[in-house]
Structure 1
Amino acid sequence: MLKQQAKPLTKQVPIDSGFGPRTTAQEVLGNQNLKGKIAIITGGYSGLGLEATRVLAEAGATVIVPARTREKAEAALKDLPNIELETLDLSDPQSINAFTQRFLASSRPLHILINAAGIMAVPLKRDSRGFESHFATNHLGHFQLTAGLWPALKQANGARVISMSSRGHRMSGIDFADPNYHHRDYDKWMAYGQSKTANALFAVELDKRGKADNVRAFAVHPGTIVTDLARHLSDEELKAMGALDERGQRRIMEYNHETKTIPEGAATIVWCAISEQLKGKGGVYCENVDIAEINPVNSPTPGVRPWAMDLKDAERLWTLSEELTGTTFDI
């Protein structure tokens, strides 16, 4: 469901950061020393999340990586410093609560929360509550996780929350009448698109509510990168995207401002997490290491679509998320 009328943020304007689509996460970080900073990165053991984990950890930050598949995470992270491996299943409310309680028991502040884990274009599947899996994992799980960690985010006095969106948000707004596909025909791309719009709207409302406690939120589109996120796509789908070579092997697609390597794709994530250029800012959608433009519904250009920045829908989604998860923020 695409919205034609929306009231988006007026602060959604590029700031000419000096970086660009070929900038890497390491270049964004530069020589910054992050010793004493604590980060949690969901999905931090594969793809873009792993690159963000590596860059932040090697700069001195303590990075906590919660994983559903612990053995896979251990193998990916074994050579990195300053890593704490944890257990978390974003589709399981009890697992989320147990993780947040363990972290809060450590009495540590949380300076950076990067909600990078996600699924894309999977067949119809529901969690134990009956929620559609994209909406449940990509949005509701992170909503509940962030709520549980809120005391530690406030304690940091300058925390940032990064919500991983995607240009996939262009495929769908939020169907508030049936977000979990109980009454409409299931479409895996529309379901993915809805969850990515939800990620962007979550950043809008979280920033509005959190800035009084010096917690700022950002939505990120990292670019198009062929990672493990695409594991559910068929060879035919990958070929249509230009992601298979003539031998049927996955490859980096032709370079442009959209397609990136993993170090380039992680750049906007890291920029939103640590850059002084964004001090005092928040609630915006970022891509190519800058704040993105708002572009019309049918525009062929990059940027964020109005429905993913809609203030009323952001508030409406927040209320719905509280109702569905039984979670409220201590704000």
Structure 2
Amino acid sequence: MSIDLYGLSRVVAEQGVLPQRARRLDPSLPCREAELLIDVESLNVDAASFKQIKDEVGGSPARIAQRIQDIVRERGKMQNPVTGSGGMLIGRVKEIGPRHPARETLKPGDRIATLVSLTLTPLVIEEIQAVHPEIDRVDIRGHALLFASGIYARLPEDMPETLALAALDVCGAPALVARHVRPGMTVAVLGAGKSGALCLAQARRGLQGKGRLLALDISDKALAALSGIGLCDEALKVDATQGVDVMGAVFRATGGELCDLVVNCASVGNTEMASILSVKSGGTVIFFSMATSFTAAALGAEGVGKDVTMLVGNGYVPGHADLTLELLRAEPALRKLFETRYV
């Protein structure tokens, strides 16, 4: 290649390994010819990673900050060594390399959100200024580098940045749901957080009033919020780690038919079987949870003799940022829910 499209030159001591798999990245300056330099303001750590860190250190914001700082200092990026996941960031463009494809569309000072994972983004944290455990967010002072292949979105001017960041963090989820939901289907969404709410909203659009939409979560409060704004036909309180119990609840709710599509947005591990057992033979499961185990899903489906198509949401679908922001614009109740939770 004529330019370092994927940031291979930032990988430290692991020949031929892409940045996401690398043990350590080099986040040092200066910005190289095919890179974008960003003054970072905030990190949105993905839900599974933030929960693991919070549980590990006992929930103290100061200890959460220290653990994140330690990870970034050791790895040159934010990649939780337990979950393997990262998140995304917002910041202001500081410098654009002469061979970066955004040179014609961005300018220094533009505020953007990166739509690629922090697990492949070279990052330096100079100071952690605040930790917001309720929204999995960390405000920092530092810099990051976005490769030529890295996708991003300008922060919209018609909504608070915290709202936009919360939605953009998971924008691949509703965009992929849009591809798979059709009128007449029975759809279940497991997990009532950011991605779950957006997936329910998009699934409701795709069903066009024909079909059935179930929301599953362990939190009465979260389910009540979703039901209260009409995002589901029925809310089921379940522990997603208990696959047989979840199957029973879905079986009763669907009159024994089960679901055509199950979307897993849970932020805890061991939820693969809840998804697989709740879908019809020949149905589809989309795993958006970063706590998903491929081994558990593949062997679990085989073990129960379930013919099911299993998809891993990779976080990128063309047009995903625009689709997600438009959902918030078009659905006032959904936007209000996000503003209540994340702004």
Question: Normalising by the residue count of structure 1, what TM-score does the alignment of the two structures yield?
Answer: 0.37
Structure showing greater radius of gyration is: 2
By percentage of residues, which structure has more strand? 2
Q: Which has the higher contact order (CA 8 A, sep 6+)?
A: 1
By percentage of residues, which structure has more helix? 1
